[in-house]
Amino acid sequence: MVGSNNAITDIGIGTMPVLIDESGRILLIDQRHLPDKFEYFDATSFDDMVHAIKVMVVRGAPSIGVAAGFSLAWESEIVARMSPSTFLTALKERGDRLKETRPTAVNLAWAVDLIINRAETMISAEGIGDLLQVVNRLKQEAHKIMDHHVEVNKRLSDFGAQLVSENAKILTHCNAGSLATCGWGTALGVVRSAHIKGLQPEVFVDETRPRHQGARLTMWELKQDNIPSTLVCDSMAGHLMAQGHVDLVVTGADRIAANGDTANKIGTYNLAVLASYHKIPFYIAAPLSTVDGALESGSGIPIEYRDQSEVLMMSDRFITVDGARAYNPAFDVTPANLITAIITEAGILRPDYNASIKDALATAFC
Amino acid sequence: MVGSNNAITDIGIGTMPVLIDESGRILLIDQRHLPDKFEYFDATSFDDMVHAIKVMVVRGAPSIGVAAGFSLAWESEIVARMSPSTFLTALKERGDRLKETRPTAVNLAWAVDLIINRAETMISAEGIGDLLQVVNRLKQEAHKIMDHHVEVNKRLSDFGAQLVSENAKILTHCNAGSLATCGWGTALGVVRSAHIKGLQPEVFVDETRPRHQGARLTMWELKQDNIPSTLVCDSMAGHLMAQGHVDLVVTGADRIAANGDTANKIGTYNLAVLASYHKIPFYIAAPLSTVDGALESGSGIPIEYRDQSEVLMMSDRFITVDGARAYNPAFDVTPANLITAIITEAGILRPDYNASIKDALATAFC
């Protein structure tokens, strides 16, 4: 299986970034090397998964959540054997280590908390007599998180496709496709669903410096699906819009506050301001697991700052002078007032987001 | 002289991108290879200069104008020897070839027209009896164009420095330094003048995809001058502004219409929209030779589209999938209503630009 390309174009769900192979290993597509190389990274060991999330072998808020769910469930077996008496404490410590890898995306914490809650519930009901049974249930839970994502992404994408007109020109940023979201995609899921509906969308893809997720991953996924795509530099969005080449903008999300403020890949906020100026709809597409109801607004979202070498270098070569300093926020926050709608599995949410998000959370399977 | 670095930090005028060496060769700093390699490109032959401008050995609207002025004056000597009877016709044909190399910047056409006008004036007054005397005068004229730029840039930069407060954080795009403008700089000239005044400005430098003039050239010039600088990706401007890290934006210009609409490096328009949204002043710094009074508005400015390989590749490596398509406008147009002021050698122009530009042109040495 390693090295194969499991994309099923047009009718498939896209390429799954996380999978469990026949011998129970947790394998991640190494997204750092796409599209040059398609290869899997073995993240079965807990430390390897922590490393893989940090260095972005796996990336995209939902995919990180799925990977973390598997990792914690798999690790629970080791913890159960090594220190059964302190099982929950040890599991929580592992959960915290996972949460610390990437601070901005909330899905990671969501998946970790879900696994730990399940463990707590089972142990409080049944005790720690048969921990391996708990472990098995946690593993099933991790699989359910993945299956849930595919289903949820398909559902939200069908809603999103209702916002796409025939021959729409869509601008997107970063990668919110199958690779980022564990099946189908969110922003790219909307494109995929519109394509399958026969709407013939065309996509402008922001290259998404510094790590080029748009150029490398979104362009790759769109090619898999034979959806027409054009790569642009992040600096070209305003000109594209002014020339009338953009009908709508859609991106994914890493964390959505209760009021609709949304953290996503650095550069998203630029697009939201530009779209607003040009009166072009700006949509966020994300599962409800991306909502952090505990946060009133985006000002509370922690922004990850990554190593400046990502900005100073490109393709392993320095692009600037020796000793240069760089600034490297990995995310920015788009205020709710710039977001035309948030596309979720519970439907298309509109302002006032405080109310519409609350309603959606109350009705959704989450 | 070839291979040396003639920058004089702090008190100098910066590194001159065009120079005439002792044997009368026209040498250009090969700006494609900075900061990795500092080397000169011999553009003495007319065909080599046409190539050098097209592939951006020399770039930056004013520097292209200076280089074209030298090239046409030098070429006039060859034309005078080969076809004296059709001297003016042949010279105009060469001028047209130069103008076609890069359609957006107006300084190129300005310098070409200036040389041809001088030739016409002299010939109509004195006939073609002593063409070599005409040639010598044209060469002097080309030198005057260069000297004029240094003087003009210093003057406009001193005006611009009045807009800079102490410890100002300045965001700039592309390179409008000495390399682009033949001495001192325009946008970067404002920074340099503010620095010399002791205002201690700090500069955020947009890397400026696809060709990285910010990362490669502006970062290099600021390092020469020991002015604190931080490299950012073009996608980070909105976040920087929202965080309060930007006090003003200043860029150069490639062509300014009579109403103040301004063409400049792709990405400038994004910054103007973002600055307006964040109520941050957005300034254009450019000599009056950048004004194209014949154009009512920016919609008439021809935008150069360059080869898509510039977007598809980085450091000679593809960054995306095989067969990908890309869009590569080299410039965009910022409408006058987003420009807080235009900094020129005749002073700081404010809206209504139709009036203020007209007044400036009427009073300026141009």
- pLDDT above 70 as % of chain A: 96
Instruction: Note whether A52 and A46 are within 8 A (CB).
Output: no
Q: Give the tens place of pLDDT for each residue, A68-114.
A: 999 999 999 999 999 888 999 999 999 999 999 999 989 999 999 99
Which one of A234, A317, A321 has the shortest CB-CB distance to B209?
A234
Residue A239 at interface with chain B, using a CB cutoff of 8 Å: yes
Which ipTM value was assigned to this complex?
0.93
Question: Scanning every residue of chain B, which has its alpha carbon at the shortest distance from the alpha carbon of A245?
Answer: B327
Chain B residues whose beta carbon lies within 8 Å of the beta carbon of residue A317: 315
* pLDDT recorded at residue B316: 80
Chain A residues whose beta carbon lies within 8 Å of the beta carbon of residue B7: none
Chain B residues whose beta carbon lies within 8 Å of the beta carbon of residue A276: 277
Identify the band that residue A10 occupies on the pLDDT scale cut at 50, 70 and 90.
Answer: very low
- pLDDT above 90 as % of chain A: 90
* pLDDT recorded at residue A297: 98
Catalytic residue among B30, B254, B261, B332: B254
* pLDDT recorded at residue B4: 35
Residue A361 at interface with chain B, using a CB cutoff of 8 Å: no
B216 to chain A, closest Cα gap in Å: 5
* pLDDT recorded at residue A365: 52
* pLDDT recorded at residue B95: 97
Q: Give the tens place of pLDDT for each residue, A139-162.
A: 999 999 999 999 999 999 999 999
* pLDDT recorded at residue B5: 39
| Cβ within 8 Å, pair B212-A319 | yes
Q: Apex CA A311: angle with CA A305 and CA A313, to 5°?
A: 135
Residue A45's Cβ-count burial label (10 Å; 0-12, 13-18, 19+) is middle
Residue A331 has pLDDT above 50, yes or no: yes
How many beta-carbon pairs under 8 angstroms link A with B?
Answer: 169
Of B42, B92, B49, residue with least CA distance to B71 = B49
d(CA B180, CA B213): 10
The H or E element containing residue A292 is strand A291-292
Identify the band that residue A8 occupies on the pLDDT scale cut at 50, 70 and 90.
Answer: very low
Chain A residues whose beta carbon lies within 8 Å of the beta carbon of residue B322: 35
Residue B302 at interface with chain A, using a CB cutoff of 8 Å: no
* pLDDT recorded at residue B14: 86
Q: Which of B38, B173, B241, B319 to probe the A interface (max A CBs under 10 A)? A: B319
d(CA B61, CA B253): 7
Identify the band that residue A4 occupies on the pLDDT scale cut at 50, 70 and 90.
Answer: very low
The H or E element containing residue B291 is strand B291-292
Question: Average pLDDT of A212-232?
Answer: 96
A197 to chain B, closest Cα gap in Å: 24
Question: Scanning every residue of chain A, which has its alpha carbon at the shortest distance from the alpha carbon of B214?
Answer: A320
d(CA A182, CA A148): 10
Residue A366 has pLDDT above 70, yes or no: no
> What is the reported pTM?
0.94
Identify the band that residue A11 occupies on the pLDDT scale cut at 50, 70 and 90.
Answer: very low
Question: Average pLDDT of A315-330?
Answer: 92
Residue B125's Cβ-count burial label (10 Å; 0-12, 13-18, 19+) is exposed
| Cβ within 8 Å, pair B321-A239 | no
Residue B266: CA count within 13 A, CB half-sphere: 27
Known active-site residue A254:
yes
User: In which residue are the tokens 């011999």 written?
Assistant: B42
Which residue ranges form the domains of chain B, and what is each CATH number?
18-153 (1.20.120.420), 160-361 (3.40.50.10470)
Ranges of residues in chain B with a pLDDT under 70 are 1-11, 365-366
Residue B362's Cβ-count burial label (10 Å; 0-12, 13-18, 19+) is exposed
Q: Give the tens place of pLDDT for each residue, B233-274.
A: 999 999 999 999 999 999 999 999 999 999 999 999 999 999
| Cβ within 8 Å, pair A323-B223 | yes
